């Protein structure tokens, strides 16, 4: 910043200049006026003397004409006194005073005296000899054409007189008025120049600012056009600056709005993610949790209920005792190196938990929570299927190998045994083939390519064939097998092979899970537009809690009596799919230890 040294304000300087020039002019004017007045006064005095002198000369001449020359002396005295002259006299031809107002006698030296002015016969002569500077009026006197001499009157020289005082006297009033006007002028000029100082100071300050610095100007007291104009400029500038500021504000506001909107969008995404997302501080307290987290941990849709809670404690509340131990170990470990954790809550629920460090100055963690119960159950079913499939493949293979090897290695096996062994091998191959068929069906079901070849089918024949296939299974276990068909069966447009497979499967299950000497029945009834096929048995039945899962893929009952039998867990799910593709439905009614009834309903139209 530039040091602001005190300077006389512009206003003072302007007033000072104004006063200086005005006073000088006034002085010059005054001097001139005084001179003029002086000269005027002198001329007027001279002319008055001249007139008086003329009249005196005439009076003297008249007195000489009348012959009253004696009275001339008195006349001169009276006139000298009246005119305020120093003297008055008549000089004769020899240069001597013939008459004189005083005692003036003798010859007068006239050398060096010069005539300063003439008015006709009258001449004014400045007398050098007179110390006080007398002016002498002279005129020749004559009477009856005879020269009488010369009339002379000495008066104080009006030109040499200190007459300027007379002028000054008259001048003073005007001069005072002029001075007064001058003072008024100074005040007015001062007022005119009043804002200038402030303006100049601001301009100087502005000039000293760096290029890019904002210009800040202030209005001054509005008292004349200049300051009013300045204030307008300042107003305009301020307005423009404010406008620019407002535009800047608007842009800022828009940016902020956009940012807020984006943030809201991100938050909405986070909130609505199906996957649970939570953020905890370094101490493990929840700072953010979305609805999915709240649903998993709190069974509550409002995630704010979790804020401030310790996430680990919340997780521990859900976890099974064994999972709790592994959870504690996992939380204590380094977040970067620890992978995801499966937290088992109970037999049904499993959570997948991930944790990673939050990359912010405050630190903390981001948590991902996912309910993987479905995946886990699916995985379990799949594992069970692999288990079952392996068993189902290995058992016939083991049998085939064992019997084939036995046949090949021993020459001394009797025909009876050879026949028996071949039958076993044959039966095992059939079983293997059926299993492969099941697998193929299930894989086509899996990719949704199960198609049906619907053709008009004579239902009576279909049921006869199904019954014929099932009967040997019943006979093996001495089961009472009965079929009930309506006297007249309509024709139906179905995929005969697939429906037959479904019914054989249902009858096969009935035979498998019905203890020996039980009973199995196939009952068919045709309603108006629906064909109802029921497979009843007096078998082991299905526990109520397992009924909803019975048609699920890979599901096998945990009942030991079911486990004792081989099975893939695919038959019923396949049956449901076939019936569904036909536009029908399959359901089960069962009481544990009393028996089951599987009902298939197919549309007839």
Partner 1 sequence: MAESRMQALVVDDNLALARVTQFALQRIGCEATTAGNGRIALDLARARQFDVVVTDQQMPEMTGVELCRNLRNLPGYGSTPLVMLTAKGLEMELSTLQEELGIRRVFPKPFSPSEVAAAVQDALTTAAP
Contacting positions for partner 1 (CB under 8 A): 387, 390-391, 394-395, 397-403, 405-406, 409-410, 417, 421, 424, 427-428, 560, 563-564
Which of 217/400 has CB closer to partner 1? 400
Largest CA distance in the chain: 227
Task: Please check whether residue 297 is in contact with residue 278, taking contact to mean a CB–CB distance below 8 angstroms.
Answer: no
**DSSP annotation string for 498-524:** HHHHHHHHHHHHHHHTS-TT-EEEEEE
Smaller CB separation from partner 1, 402 or 485: 402
Q: Which DSSP helix (H) or strand (E) runs through 168?
A: helix 164-192
Q: What is the dihedral of CA 291, 295, 299, 303, to 10 degrees?
A: -20
Q: Smallest gap, in angstroms, from Cβ of residue 396 to partner 1?
A: 9
User: Residue 530 and residue 426: Cα distance in Å, rounded?
Assistant: 40
Cβ closest to partner 1, residue 49 vs residue 421: 421
Nearest to 505 by CA among 533, 543, 540, 544: 533
CA atoms 306, 308, 309, 311: torsion sign: positive
Q: Residues near 240 by Cβ (< 8 Å), separated by ≥ 6? A: none
User: Do 341 and 326 contact (CB within 8 A), yes or no?
Assistant: yes
Minimum CB distance to partner 1, residue 274 (Å):
38
Q: How far is the CB of 554 from partner 1 (least distance, A)?
A: 18
Minimum Å distance from CB 370 to partner 1? 31
- Closer residue to partner 1, CB minimum distance, 366 or 393: 393
Helix 194-207 vs helix 164-192: crossing angle, to nearest 10: 50
Residue 499's nearest CA partner among 536, 533, 474 is 533
Least distance (Å) from partner 1 to the CB of residue 547?
23
Closer CB to partner 1, residue 335 or residue 424? 424
CB of 427 to partner 1, least distance (A): 8
CB of 398 to partner 1, least distance (A): 4
Residue number with CB closer to partner 1 (191 or 391): 391
CB atoms within 10 A of CB 495: 19
Paired tokens of 212: 């890019």
**207 vs 408 by CB, closer to partner 1:** 408
Cβ of residue 506: shortest distance to partner 1, in angstroms? Answer: 23
Contact 554, 384 (CB under 8 A): yes
CB atoms within 10 A of CB 60: 25
8 Å CB contact between 110 and 97: no
Q: How far is the CB of 342 from partner 1 (least distance, A)?
A: 23
Task: Give φ, ψ of 88 to 5 degrees.
Answer: -150, 130
Q: Measured from the CB atom, is 145 or 412 closer to partner 1?
A: 412
C-beta closer to partner 1: residue 178 or 406: 406
Measured from the CB of residue 408, what is the shortest distance to partner 1 in angstroms? 10
Select from 280, 302, 305 the least CA-distant residue to 292: 302
Nearer CB in complex with partner 1: 389/459: 389
Residue whose entry in the numeric block shows the structure tokens 């979305």: 290
């Amino acid at each position: 910043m530039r040091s602001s040294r005190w300077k006389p304000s512009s206003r003072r300087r302007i007033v000072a200049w104004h006063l200086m020039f005005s006073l000088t002019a006034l002085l010059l004017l005054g001097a001139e006026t005084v001179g003029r007045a002086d000269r005027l006064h002198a001329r007027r005095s001279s002319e008055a003397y001249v007139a008086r002198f003329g009249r005196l000369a005439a009076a003297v001449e008249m007195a000489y004409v009348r012959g009253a020359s004696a009275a001339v002396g008195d006349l001169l005295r009276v006139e000298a006194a009246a005119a305020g002259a120093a003297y008055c006299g008549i000089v004769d031809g020899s240069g001597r005073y013939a008459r004189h107002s005083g005692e003036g006698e003798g010859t007068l030296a006239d050398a060096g005296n010069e005539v300063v002015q003439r008015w006709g016969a009258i001449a004014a002569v400045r007398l050098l000899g007179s110390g006080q500077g007398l002016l002498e009026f002279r005129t020749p006197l004559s009477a009856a054409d005879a020269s009488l001499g010369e009339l002379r009157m000495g008066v104080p020289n009006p030109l040499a007189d200190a007459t300027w005082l007379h002028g000054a006297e008259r001048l003073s009033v005007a001069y005072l008025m002029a001075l007064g006007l001058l003072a008024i002028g100074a005040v007015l000029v001062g007022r005119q120049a009043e804002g200038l100082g402030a303006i100049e100071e601001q301009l100087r300050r502005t000039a000293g600012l760096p290029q890019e610095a904002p210009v800040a100007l202030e209005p001054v007291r509005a008292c004349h056009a200049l300051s009013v104009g300045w204030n307008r400029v300042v107003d305009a500038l301020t307005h423009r600056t404010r406008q620019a500021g407002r535009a800047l504000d608007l842009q800022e506001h828009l940016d902020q709005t956009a940012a807020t909107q984006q943030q809201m969008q991100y938050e909405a995404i986070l909130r609505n993610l199906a996957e649970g997302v939570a953020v905890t501080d370094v101490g493990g307290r929840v700072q953010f949790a979305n609805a999915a987290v709240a649903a998993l941990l709190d069974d509550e849709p409002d995630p704010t209920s979790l804020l401030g809670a310790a996430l680990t404690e919340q997780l521990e509340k859900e976890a099974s005792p064994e999972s709790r131990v592994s959870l504690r170990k996992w939380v204590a470990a380094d977040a970067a190196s620890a992978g995801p954790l499966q937290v088992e809550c109970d037999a049904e629920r499993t959570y997948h938990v991930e944790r990673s460090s939050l990359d912010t100055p405050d630190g903390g963690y981001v948590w991902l929570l996912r309910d993987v119960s479905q995946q886990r159950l699916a995985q379990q079913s799949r594992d069970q299927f692999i288990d079952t499939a392996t068993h189902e493949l290995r058992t016939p293979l083991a049998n085939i190998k064992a019997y084939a090897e036995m046949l090949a290695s021993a020459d001394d096996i009797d025909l009876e045994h050879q026949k028996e062994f071949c039958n076993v091998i044959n039966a095992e191959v059939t079983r293997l083939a059926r299993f492969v068929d099941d697998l193929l069906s299930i894989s086509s079901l899996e990719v949704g390519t199960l198609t049906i070849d619907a053709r008009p089918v004579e239902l009576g024949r279909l049921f006869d064939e199904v019954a014929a296939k099932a009967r040997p299974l019943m006979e093996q276990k001495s089961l009472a097998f009965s079929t009930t068909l309506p006297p007249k069966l309509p024709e139906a447009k179905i995929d005969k092979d697939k429906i037959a497979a479904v019914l054989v499967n249902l009858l096969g299950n009935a035979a498998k899970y019905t203890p020996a000497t039980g009973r199995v029945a196939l009952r068919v009834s045709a309603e108006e537009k629906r064909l109802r096929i029921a497979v009843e048995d007096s078998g082991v039945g299905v526990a109520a809690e397992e009924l909803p899962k019975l048609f699920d893929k890979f599901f096998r009952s945990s009942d030991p009596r079911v486990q004792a039998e081989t099975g893939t867990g695919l038959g019923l799910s396949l049956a449901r799919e076939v019936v569904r593709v036909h536009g029908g439905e399959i359901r089960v009614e069962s009481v544990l230890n009393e028996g089951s009834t599987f009902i298939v309903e197919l549309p007839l139209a």
